[in-house]
């Protein structure tokens, strides 16, 4: 991958948090923003952003979902920005596809896609938006964005590490980490256009963390599905799939997992006690957002990146 963001020319990137990062995944939101601040990456939250619609709305109408997502893109453009950082994987998929439909230079594949574009554009016009200008949106997932910035992460880590006397007191946690990276299925699988990494054997998370001195274990289940949106309708399926992932992590000699998807984090962290009871296991594997570990490695405190919100406490690692 090449870094398409001009480090000198880009003042800010538009930030689309989505609904989850303002509620159940607030720890992802806070830790990501603090990480961006440490890395001196400017961002501005899209004003008046709306829900992307995600799966519930898509079950009703794909046109609705991509119109809702396209509205967020146009709002970013009104701020003078056409590059958007979208941490939630589900939101990212929707905004990325919306950008594909409405970007001026997009080469749509068939009449169905052309009809989708025309419908989205018509809906945006009905909302009063000017869509006559050239549109050239670039939507980043948090992993792709951090991968592009991994050299900056490494430089910042080395800068902190050079002054040994100023190393964070929480270094004891980092030194005891034996993590595996869990990508899940929603980022790399749905559409080949979204892929920036190998969809079966991705390594981008491991490479990012290595820049901050965190070495990860090999993990066979890194792209297996955790059950995700089946949580409410097929709870036992989620517990079964998540149990397989946690079991594989233990087989890899890991003592924690690193994720970037809010749904994956909840299934593996929140439901770990339920899994223990159902399958007579004794899992005590904290499930961190990658932004939390990077923040700690770059000098933030565990409390500031909201590790206290984890259901499975990191104390299991520190006391190991």
pLDDT tens digits for 189-198?
766 555 678 8
pLDDT in tens, 178-234: 999 999 998 887 665 556 788 889 999 999 999 999 999 999 999 999 998 787 789
pLDDT at 8 over 60: no
Looking at per-residue confidence, does 162 or 44 come out higher?
Answer: 44
Q: How much is the pLDDT for 74?
A: 98
The residue-averaged pLDDT of 298-303 equals 92
Of the pLDDT bands very low, low, confident and very high (cuts 50, 70, 90), residue 11 is low
pLDDT above 90: percentage of residues in the chain: 77
Domain ranges in the chain are 13-140, 150-318
pLDDT for position 170: 67
Rg of the Cα atoms in the chain: 20
pLDDT at 289 over 60: yes
13-140 CATH choice from 3.30.930.10, 2.60.120.10, 1.10.3720.10, 1.20.1050.140: 1.20.1050.140
Report the range of poorest mean pLDDT among 136-150, 225-239, 267-281.
225-239
Look at residue 161 and tell me whether its pLDDT is greater than 90. no
Whether 261 and 142 have beta carbons less than 8 Å apart is answered as: no
Note the pLDDT of residue 175. Answer: 87
Relative orientation angle of helices 89-102 and 111-126, to the nearest 10 degrees = 100
- Under the banding of pLDDT at 50, 70 and 90, the label for residue 1 is very low
pLDDT value at position 140?
96
Topology match between the domains 13-140 and 150-318: no
Q: Any idea what DSSP says for residue 306?
A: T
pLDDT, tens digit, for every residue of 127-142? 999 888 899 999 999 9
pLDDT digits (tens, 9 = 90+) for 243-268: 999 999 999 999 999 999 999 999 99
Per-residue pLDDT at 230: 83
Does the pTM of the predicted model rise above 0.75? yes
Rounded to whole angstroms, what are the CA distances from 13 to 16, 133, 236?
A: 10, 20, 40
Question: The domain 150-318: what is its CATH number?
Answer: 3.40.50.11810
7 pLDDT band, cuts 50/70/90, is very low
Give residue 168's pLDDT.
54
Q: What is the residue-averaged pLDDT of the chain?
A: 90
Q: How far apart are CA 220 and CA 137, in angstroms?
A: 35
**Do the beta carbons of residue 260 and residue 205 sit within 8 Å?**
yes
Measured CA to CA, the distance from residue 131 to residue 104 in angstroms comes to 10
The Cα–Cα gap between 265 and 276 comes to 16
Q: Are residues 222 and 181 in contact, defined by beta-carbon separation less than 8 angstroms?
A: yes
Which residues, including other chains, have CB under 8 Å from residue 215's CB and lie 6 or more apart? 209
DSSP 170: T
Q: Does 6 score more than 80 pLDDT?
A: no
The confidence score (pLDDT) of residue 317 equals: 73
Helix (H, G, I), strand (E, B) or coil at 259: strand
């Amino acid at each position: 991958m090449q870094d398409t963001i001009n480090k000198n020319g880009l003042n800010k990137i538009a930030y689309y948090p989505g609904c989850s990062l303002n509620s159940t995944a607030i720890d992802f939101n806070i830790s990501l923003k603090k990480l961006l601040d440490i890395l001196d990456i400017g961002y501005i939250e899209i004003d008046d952003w709306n829900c992307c619609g995600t799966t519930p709305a898509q079950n009703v109408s794909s046109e609705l979902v991509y119109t809702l997502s396209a509205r967020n893109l146009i709002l970013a453009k009104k701020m003078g920005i056409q590059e958007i950082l979208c941490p939630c994987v589900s939101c990212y998929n929707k905004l990325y596809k919306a950008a594909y439909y409405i970007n001026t230079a997009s080469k749509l594949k068939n009449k169905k896609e052309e009809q989708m574009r025309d419908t989205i554009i018509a809906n945006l016009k009905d909302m009063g938006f000017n869509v006559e200008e050239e549109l050239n949106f670039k939507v980043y997932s948090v992993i792709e964005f951090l991968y592009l910035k991994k050299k900056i992460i490494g430089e910042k880590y080395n800068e902190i590490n050079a002054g040994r006397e100023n190393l964070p007191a929480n270094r004891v946690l980092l030194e005891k980490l034996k993590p595996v990276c869990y990508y899940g299925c929603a980022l790399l699988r749905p559409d080949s256009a979204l892929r920036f990494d190998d969809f079966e054997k991705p390594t981008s998370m491991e490479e990012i963390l290595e820049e901050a001195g965190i070495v990860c274990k090999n993990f066979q289940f890194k792209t297996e599905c955790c059950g995700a949106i089946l949580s409410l309708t097929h709870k036992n399926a989620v517990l079964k799939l998540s149990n397989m992932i946690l079991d594989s992590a233990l087989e890899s000699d890991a003592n924690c997992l690193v994720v970037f998807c809010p749904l994956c984090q909840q299934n593996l962290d929140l439901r770990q006690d339920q899994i223990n009871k159902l399958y007579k296991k004794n899992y005590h594997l904290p499930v961190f957002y990658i932004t939390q570990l990077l923040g700690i490695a770059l000098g933030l405190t565990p409390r500031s990146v909201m590790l206290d919100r984890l259901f499975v406490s990191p104390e299991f690692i520190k006391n190991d």
